[in-house]
Chains A and B, each alone.
Chain A
Amino acid sequence: MSISTPGGPERRPTVVSTGKKPAAGRPAAGAKATGAKAGPNKSGSAQRAGGGKGPRKPITPVKVSQGRSWGPIALFVAVGVLATSIIGFGAWATFKGSQSWQDKAAGIDGIVNYRKTDPESLNYESHQAGKIEYKYSPPVGGAHNNAWQRCLGDVYDAPIASEHAVHSLEHGAVWLTYRPDLPAADVEKLASVIRGNDFMLMSPYEGLDAAVSIQAWGYQLKVDSADDPRIKEFATTLAQNASIEPGVPCSSGNYTTGTGTEPRELAPPTGG
């Protein structure tokens, strides 16, 4: 289309004027004339114009005045729509894909992010033996014992020591706690979220101010019903991701599986 020849400008008017009417109306009386003229330049177009449309000549002139070539218009529109959808899909995929677990966590309605609101409460110097006072109940991080509570989808049926559970949180565990007077059916619903999943554990918790509270290191969500879908959302989003020692196991090592809120020292104490 872009090859230019010296004769171009001069030739154009003739070609265009003869071709003009048939152009709008498609195959037309002029088609043959155009074909004849264009013939010497390009045989393909001549053939098409003359051969294909020739026989129908008599009928077409009516359409000529009506203009619009819908075929090409439809094509333009189709290309436009396609381009828009490709760009749109790309943008959407990029946006979705770039959603980190932190973004997903922030999207959980009612979640409290102590990493933002109170990062100091999560700081600690070293492992600490014995009872520890926690600022939040249930605790969401901070100092803890040397041993951690095993968090291999463990469902403990009695309260456990926060000093061990907080160490599990540090390893990326999600700790689901519930009010001890919760009906057994509700406890079973909660257990079905936890059981069988690495980096999760669950236990009753005395004095809880909500039916259920679920926590990860620096994160907490309290809800009033065991049926709340946000419980599972919290668990799957934060398990392992919330670890502040990425790659550390929950299931093996210096863990305890005992219950009772009194912390236990395991193995030979390693100092502090």
Chain B
Amino acid sequence: MPTATQEAPPAERNGTDLHRSPRLLRYLTLVMAAVLLLGVGWTAATLTANRTPGDESAEAGFARDMSRHHAQAVEMAMIAYAKGQDPAIRQLGYDMALTQQAQIGHMQRWLQEWDLLPTGTRPAMEWMPDAVPVGPDGLMPGMATREEITQLHEAQGAAVDQLFVKLMIKHHLGGVHMADGLLKVSDRAEVVRMAEAMKQTQQKEINELRRMGLADG
């Protein structure tokens, strides 16, 4: 009986048939219901799958805050590279500066891909699961104060090595803490991968710095 539909002239089919055949109507209804369901399902799936992290997401907060956290590490590492007394300190400074500057590039690229600005409108660290708000100085966990950075700039000889080891251990501990915070709340693949890598690298570097600190002291 579906036969009827195909061979009927269009006008008749639209106008008359629809009212005449209950089965035809029922089929149409079923088809429409199927289309409707598919539509809803597709929309929901698309929205979930393609949704990139929003402006206030933990991922965006991590990318922005870790960029600034890293920027300070780069500054300290460049001083160690340029002025460190122990060749091992200079080598470590070189590694850290290049790695973290490249990671800043990765994180900034995410923000571009997510159509977000590099600067957030919420206070730093608010994205952390157990957020401790940053003070008026904007210092995130582990970050050195302006005065400490100035001291490092002005230090000479072995004092550079000692101060660098001290400041960078603290800095890395803060970095690991932030990476942990992201890992607690995010399942975004590229961000999780980066946070895990940061955590592992920085933990290893903490061990190395501690060893150097002991050797120096």
A interface residues, Cβ below 8 angstroms from B: 1-5, 7-9, 11-12, 15-17, 19-20, 22-24, 26, 31, 34, 38, 41-42, 45, 48-49, 67, 69, 71-72, 75-76, 78-79, 82-83, 86, 96-97, 99, 101, 104, 152-153, 195-200, 232, 235-237, 239-241, 247, 249-253
Contacts and interface: CB of A to CB of B under 8 A. Distances in A.
Interface stretch (B69-77, B161-169, B185-193, B208-216): B69-77
Given A75-B33, A198-B71, A252-B78, A19 B138 contact: no
A86 B39 contact: yes
B43 interface: yes
A20 B137 contact: no
Contact of B7 (A4, A82, A197, A239): A4
B94 to A, nearest CB: 14
A53 to B, nearest CB: 9
A49 B121 contact: no
Interface of B: 1-8, 17, 19-29, 32-33, 35-36, 39-40, 42-43, 67-68, 71-72, 74-75, 78, 101, 104-105, 108, 115, 117-121, 123-124, 134, 136-138
Contacts of A104: 117
Contacts, number: 151
A34 B22 contact: yes
Closest 7 CB pairs of A and B: A196-B138, A8-B3, A252-B75, A1-B2, A12-B4, A20-B20, A23-B22
A129 B57 CA distance: 44
Interface secondary structure of B, over-half rule: helix
B4 A195 contact: no
A234 B39 CA distance: 40
A10 to B, nearest CB: 10
Contact of A101 (B4, B21, B40, B117): B117
B32 A15 contact: no
